[in-house]
Structure 1
Amino acid sequence: MNTQNFFWASNLKYLRNRKRLSQDELAERLSITRVKLNAHENGRSKNPPVEDLVRISDFYKISIDNLLKVDLSKLGELKLRELESGNDVYAMGTKMRILATTVDKDNNENVEMVPVKAKAGYAAGYGDPDFIAQLPVFNLPYLPKDRKYRMFPTTGDSMLPIPENAYVIGEYLEDWHSIKGDMPCIVITKNDGIVFKLVTNLPEQRAMRLKSLNTQYAPYEVHTGDILEIWKFKNYISDSLPESESSLQEIARMVMEIKGDVKKLSLKPKA
């Protein structure tokens, strides 16, 4: 069996450091010798005994398959917590979307901000831990700590009344089946980069329909294979007040109101 692509050794060392345990402490908890644990962590155990695989899997509450085949250091703290809680989304044969992320000194997820100058490069660097590590980070106390958030810049007027040059905070969506009709989301695509749209899932067409709040822009569809990430809208930050409706939008609203009044009159019984 080719073990070159296995992550057993690096995962054990990463998980031990994550729990802030020394080799002596962990070896005692696992009821193995420190020499054996050291051999596992340094890749000298080419064929780990089955009892060691099971013992370590039970201790970390992570499947043997994941301990062997997934680089856990790239998953981020939220994904590790999901694995530990039994949400094994990385089973063999499934397509993985690994989110590069950063955490603070207490292993809490940061909210990374994508500055305007980094916007163009995000579609290429979104999965690169080194690229993500260079982004500014901050924390907002009102955001739940069991989810992943990131902040993106907006450009143009397609999402008015949200002002141009605002920063939109999005919650990472792994399960795209949860997207309902016209859900506001930040969508990262291969061709268009970062866009902020109302998103509708079209599973039969294997596509997403993207629509602007500004009705002057026509909706369009993007194949799911061209989508890299989706972040559900949570909030936005801006130093500008939302603009009032444009004259065209106001006229359209007035026309709809007039049509509604005419329809009501036509339904009234004649005297």
Structure 2
Amino acid sequence: METQQIFWSANIKHLRLRKKMSQEVLAEKLGISRVKLNAHESGRTVNPTVEDLVNTSGFFKMSIDCLLKMDLSKLSEQKLKDLEEGSQAYMSGSKIRVLAITVDKDEKENVEYVPVKAKAGYRSGYSDPEFLAGLPRFNLPNLPKNGTFRMFPTIGDSMLPVPEGSDIITRYVQDWRLLKKETPCIVILKGEQDFVFKQVTINEDGTMLLQSFNKQYFAYTVPVSEVLELWEYYSFHSKQLPEPQTDMQQLLKMLQEVQFEIKEMKK
């Protein structure tokens, strides 16, 4: 079997020079040392970490596959711009995401409900009309006429003060770039997690910051390529009343906000 040639080191250097950046500046942008960046560019780093792959991909707006397998120095400037715009097209949803829906007998869109037992299958069936047709469907009064709505259950305490076991009514987000900072959303992720309810912020480097409502949980980022769908919070239905935050929860929230602000200042 022929070994796949890897262009990682050459591509990092080529993209850095294309942006007219020094190693010191790029290393700071990527959150690594200049020595480590030099090791990447010189080929001394044979197996870059997943974190370095994701951060570099997000900063240059190039897929990891392109960074590893394509000799970017052989491409024209227009082709490089096309590859960069591919990331923007993903966030806008203009070329990639196709939303499947169901309608009632009057051709009005239903609100599909994704029960807990269907969570595992939703990740693979979210764009399949037959899968959606098997979900509970209903109509709710007073929903805005513009938009597609879906209901998801909450599990766990990371969504507090929304009580565990609540049902979140959401509106589909087509263009992720229009989301305001810390917009509450159901996030459909690839991988082991099926969906999470988080405050979503789109970062300039092509990643999403996901913050829990329960401030005892740390925020984290994921590349946009790991997100299948975003559903913006509209309302929730629950049998329980939300519990007020304790003094300790408020203190933890304040500490996390300070940590986040410090991190942003360092950037």
Normalised TM-score (structure 1): 0.57
Q: How far 1:95 moved relative to its partner?
A: 1.7
Q: Secondary structure at the match of 2:243?
A: coil
Q: Secondary structure at the match of 1:195?
A: strand
Q: How far 1:254 moved relative to its partner?
A: 9.5
The equivalent of 1:28 in structure 2 is: none
Cα deviations across residues 173-196 of structure 1 (Å, max 9, x unaligned)?
001011111000111000221100
Q: Secondary structure at the match of 2:197?
A: strand
The equivalent of 2:248 in structure 1 is: 248
**Does residue 1:137 correspond to 2:137, yes or no?**
yes
Q: Give, as a single letter, the amino acid of the residue that structure 1 aligns with 2:189.
A: T
The equivalent of 1:37 in structure 2 is: none
Q: Secondary structure at the match of 1:164?
A: coil
Query: What is the count of residue pairs matched by the alignment?
Result: 163
Q: How far 1:141 moved relative to its partner?
A: 1.1
Question: Can you give the 5+ residue segments of structure 2 that lack an aligned partner in the other structure?
Answer: 1-88, 257-267
Question: Can you give the 5+ residue segments of structure 1 that lack an aligned partner in the other structure?
Answer: 1-88, 257-271
Are the equivalent residues in 1 in contact too, given 2:161–2:242 (CA < 8 A)?
A: yes
For 1:117 and 1:254, the matched residues in 2 are separated by 36
For 1:95 and 1:210, the matched residues in 2 are separated by 24
For 2:252 and 2:233, the matched residues in 1 are separated by 26
Higher relative contact order (CA closer than 8 Å, sequence separation 6+): 2
Percent identical: 52
The equivalent of 2:51 in structure 1 is: none
For 1:129 and 1:252, the matched residues in 2 are separated by 43
Distance 1:223 1:138, change over 3 A: same
Are the equivalent residues in 2 in contact too, given 1:109–1:145 (CA < 8 A)?
A: no
Normalised TM-score (structure 2): 0.58
Q: Please list, as runs of the form range in 1=range in 2, the aligned pairs for 1:26-37 lying within 5 A after superposition.
A: none
Are the equivalent residues in 2 in contact too, given 1:115–1:153 (CA < 8 A)?
A: yes
The equivalent of 1:15 in structure 2 is: none
The equivalent of 1:185 in structure 2 is: 185
For 1:193 and 1:98, the matched residues in 2 are separated by 18
The equivalent of 1:197 in structure 2 is: 198
Q: Please list, as runs of the form range in 1=range in 2, the aligned pairs for 1:228-239 lying within 5 A after superposition.
A: 228-239=228-239
For 1:245 and 1:155, the matched residues in 2 are separated by 19
Q: Secondary structure at the match of 1:150?
A: strand
For 2:172 and 2:136, the matched residues in 1 are separated by 18
Q: Give, as a single letter, the amino acid of the residue that structure 2 aligns with 1:108.
A: K
The equivalent of 1:72 in structure 2 is: none
The equivalent of 1:149 in structure 2 is: 149
Q: How far 1:120 moved relative to its partner?
A: 1.7
Q: How far 1:217 moved relative to its partner?
A: 0.6
Are the equivalent residues in 2 in contact too, given 1:155–1:164 (CA < 8 A)?
A: yes
Q: Secondary structure at the match of 1:118?
A: helix
Distance 1:253 1:150, change over 3 A: closer
Cα deviations across residues 212-256 of structure 1 (Å, max 9, x unaligned)?
111111100111111000011000001111123245214557999
Calculate the aligned-residue CA RMSD, in Å.
2.1
Cα deviations across residues 17-56 of structure 1 (Å, max 9, x unaligned)?
xxxxxxxxxxxxxxxxxxxxxxxxxxxxxxxxxxxxxxxx
Greater Cα shift, 140-149 or 243-252: 243-252
Q: Give, as a single letter, the amino acid of the residue that structure 1 aligns with 2:175.
A: D
The equivalent of 1:105 in structure 2 is: 105
For 1:218 and 1:166, the matched residues in 2 are separated by 22
Q: Please list, as runs of the form range in 1=range in 2, the aligned pairs for 1:42-81 lying within 5 A after superposition.
A: none
Q: How far 1:114 moved relative to its partner?
A: 0.4
Q: Give, as a single letter, the amino acid of the residue that structure 1 aligns with 2:223.
A: H
For 2:141 and 2:244, the matched residues in 1 are separated by 31
Q: Secondary structure at the match of 1:177?
A: helix
The equivalent of 1:221 in structure 2 is: 221
Q: Secondary structure at the match of 1:205?
A: coil
Q: Give, as a single letter, the amino acid of the residue that structure 1 aligns with 2:199.
A: L
The equivalent of 2:26 in structure 1 is: none
For 2:156 and 2:185, the matched residues in 1 are separated by 16
Q: Give, as a single letter, the amino acid of the residue that structure 1 aligns with 2:120.
A: A
Q: Give, as a single letter, the amino acid of the residue that structure 2 aligns with 1:201.
A: I
